[in-house]
Structure 1
Amino acid sequence: MSIIQDFDLGSLDTLLRSFTQRPQALHLDTQLPLVMQSLQQDHLDLLPLPGQGHTLQRWQTLARIAGCDLSLAKLYEGHTDALAILSECSASHRVGQGIWGVWAAESAEARTRIVGREGDTVLLEGRKAWCSGALQIDNALLTAWDSNEQPQLVAIELSHPSQRILAEGWQAVGMATTTSVVMEFDGTPAVAIGAPGQYLSRPGFWHGGGGIAACWYGAAEALADYLREHCRKPRPDPHAEAHLGAVDAALGGARATLRECAAWIDANPGANAELLVRRTRAQIEQAVSQVIQHVGRALGATPFCHNSHFARLSADLPVFLRQSHAERDLAVLGQQLAQVPAGAWQL
């Protein structure tokens, strides 16, 4: 065998480029809807509503689900959030059967519009991005834009033939089984829920944002438990113990923040919780990022490769954590804090 002296990197790049750009196959976990149905049958989806004295219990449940599986948490959180929204908008009679989702993310490339209305019944046209669980749920609440350019919350049934699922663009590895696809509507009937703008203006919008942070926390807590178990082994591992100490400091502060936030919401259910929830989400995100780093460095490649639960959480959590908008959210938090009188940080 002779060695090529004038190696053609251009040909190599061409070959690698086609391999790099190969699409991910759509992956559905058929067990997800079955677990959701079991949770419903046992009434384990009927969580205490936020702001009614048991917000912490609600968030503890979300954290427990997230510590099991984040794709399940995505479906479960969306379903239970939908039930809370329907209650807050005096529309609990719309719940019926099946699994619900909430699709309120907006994209410049995909906008759903209301093109007809008769009473509470509306017709939808356009597209909606980030429709998590569209292949696994039965009903959804989504924001659509009315003729006055106001967001109107509407409820749809996923079985209607006027809807089309566009799944080709879903290329996730982490959180892959949530299949957060694009939905296309062509005269799709829907029911208006609440008044235009109410979805964003209601107190429960920020209560739900705190619930997402509880999911982040629950997944990080589950990863941290693997490190704690590792450090219980009889053979000393001072590096791992140092990582465990850092994890404890991060999670201890995050837990206290979530508990304080839940207590404040219960004491002030009708107040605007935006500032407190934004701060809470920022603190939980920072703590979770630290846990991911410390646990991975302490345990090495073994659990990533040989423990299915650890591997799924480790792949999913960084993606789920990006429901935070990072520095954009921090900038808004900073703007709001700049208007707070001095002394807001005093003990």
Structure 2
Amino acid sequence: MTSADTIEHLLDTFASRSVTQSTDGALQGLMQKLIDSGFAGLPPPGQGRTLERWRSLAKVGACDLALTKIFEGHTDALAIVTELEPDRAPAPGLWGVWAAEPPFARIEIVDRQDDQVYLQGRKAWCSGAAILDWALVTTWDEQGLAQLVAVDLKQASLSRVDEVWQAVGMAHTASVDVEFNGALGHCVGLPGQYVDRPGFWQGGGGIAACWYGAACAFAGYLREHCTRPYHDAHAAAHLGAVDAALCAAAASMRETAAWIDGHPQSSAEIPVRRLRAQVEAAVTVVLEQVGRALGATPYCRNAHFARLAADLPVFLRQSHGHKDLAELGKRTAAQSNDGWLL
């Protein structure tokens, strides 16, 4: 030991060590089976079967949230292409949507030939980068306008930056950064159309369905526990709180899906912002109550429970918390309060 090896130095070095990266081959294999079997061909939102679409997302969410992230991205990409390019069928393969726009990562169009464009820059939060075939990528054109671009990911002009992904929860999504060095893509829709189309907020409700399905699976372990003769009244009380939260969220999902199907060309921003806030609140209750009721045992001895416990808090942060609530509040203040009437 040298004089520089203080206990603080030794502990700090260990605490900041990198998370071991790995690709889940089983996830990729199952995703391909879901596509090949037709289970990823979900009905588009806003066409009368939105709740059916959300039920499928919730079912996958109850299984595994890393899988769900890839599954939801694929189904969302297909819905987007269908909406913006109804005369062009999506290319075969596994699709994703890379639409995060943090200030430190930006993709720009640097050259074009009609709707064929060349892209430069870095994209962050690229879920499934190691396994996807295609991605819909938000970019910025020569006039500074947002433009959605479809990119074939099997190009040498793309490179992954793996070391930035240090997640434990949602680890197998491998949401790394990707460098674009003159990568070729084709424009999907007009500038600004990706966000302005009705399907943008309709699709945003699907994320809440993923959260909800995972929360129901997590809560199912408490419900099973409460059927056993040795459970106590405290566990039953925790289950009561969970039931109240999930039933309220389920009612909101049914109501919002019906609203979307009844107003397919209207902006669903307020209904979906409200839905996401309600489901997030329910999931937060479930995570706390189930954990307190069951203790450490399932976290340590049940693989499915442990994955949900690690993944769900990370996936839930696709919500922006009070920032999203503030946006909902601004829009609520500008509307009548008829939505509060019984």
TM range (shorter): over 0.9
- Alpha-carbon distance in 1 for matches of 2:173, 2:319: 17
Question: Partner amino acid for 1:228?
Answer: R
Residues 1:265 and 2:263 aligned together: no
2:239 corresponds, among 234, 240, 244, to 244
Between the aligned partners of 1:246 and 1:268, the Cα distance in structure 2 is: 33
- Give CA deviations for 1:22-80 in whole Å, capped at 9, x if unaligned: 11111211111111110111111110010000000000000000000000000000000
User: Which amino acid letter does the alignment assign opposite residue 115 of structure 1?
Assistant: V
- Matched-pair contact (CA < 8 Å) for 1:33–1:137: no
User: Any stretches of 5+ residues in structure 1 without a counterpart?
Assistant: 1-7
- Match in the other structure for 1:72: 67
Q: 1:331 aligns with which of 318, 326, 341?
A: 326
User: Does residue 225 of structure 2 align to residue 225 of structure 1?
Assistant: no
- Could you say which residue in structure 2 is the equivalent of 1:154? 149
Partner of 2:55: 60
Which position in structure 2 is the counterpart of 1:125? 120
Indicate yes or no: 2:21 matched with 1:42: no
RMSD: 1.3
Matches within 5 A, 1:80-91: 80-91=75-86
* Partner deviation per Cα, 1:147-173 (whole Å, 9 max, x = no partner): 111110000111011111111110000
- AA matched with 2:218: L
Gaps of at least 5 residues in structure 2 are none
For residue 311 of structure 1, the aligned residue among 287, 290, 306 is 306
Counting only pairs closer than 5 Å after superposition, residues 82-231 of structure 1 correspond to structure 2 as: 82-91=77-86, 93-231=88-226
Letter in 2 for 1:223: F
Aligned-pair distance for 1:9?
A: 12
TM-score norm. by structure 2 comes to: 0.97
Q: Distance in 2 between matches of 1:27 and 1:245?
A: 39
What's the CA shift for 1:115?
A: 0.6
The question of whether the paired residues in 2 share the 8 Å contact of 1:83 and 1:92 is answered with no
2:211 alignment partner AA: W
Tell me which amino acid in the other structure corresponds to 1:247: V
Contact 2:225 2:231 in 1 (8 A): no
CA drift of 1:91 comes to 4.7
- Paired with 2:241 and 2:5, the residues of 1 have a C-alpha distance of 47
How many residue pairs match? The answer is: 340
Shift of 1:342: 3.6
Tell me the SS of whatever aligns to 1:242.
helix
1:92–1:156 distance in 2 versus 1, CA, 3 Å:
farther
Aligned residue for 2:96, secondary structure, equals strand
CA distance in 2 between counterparts of 1:92 and 1:156 reads 18
**CA distance in structure 1 between the aligned counterparts of 2:182 and 2:150, rounded to whole angstroms:** 14
Query: Does the residue aligned with 1:196 lie in a helix, a strand or coil?
Result: coil
Partner of 1:229, secondary structure, is: helix
Superposition misfits of 4+ residues, deviation over 3 angstroms: none
* Counterpart contact for 2:108–2:139, Cα < 8 Å: yes
1: distance between equivalents of 2:196 and 2:141?
Answer: 16
Contact between 1:91 and 1:193, CA under 8 Å: does it hold in 2? Answer: no
User: In structure 2, how many angstroms separate the alpha carbons of the residues matched to 1:312 and 1:342?
Assistant: 41
Name which of 278, 286, 299 aligns with 2:294.
299
One-letter code aligned to 1:312: R
User: Could you tell me how far apart the structure 2 residues matched to 1:10 and 1:239 are?
Assistant: 48
* Distance in 2 separating the partners of 1:111 and 1:294: 40
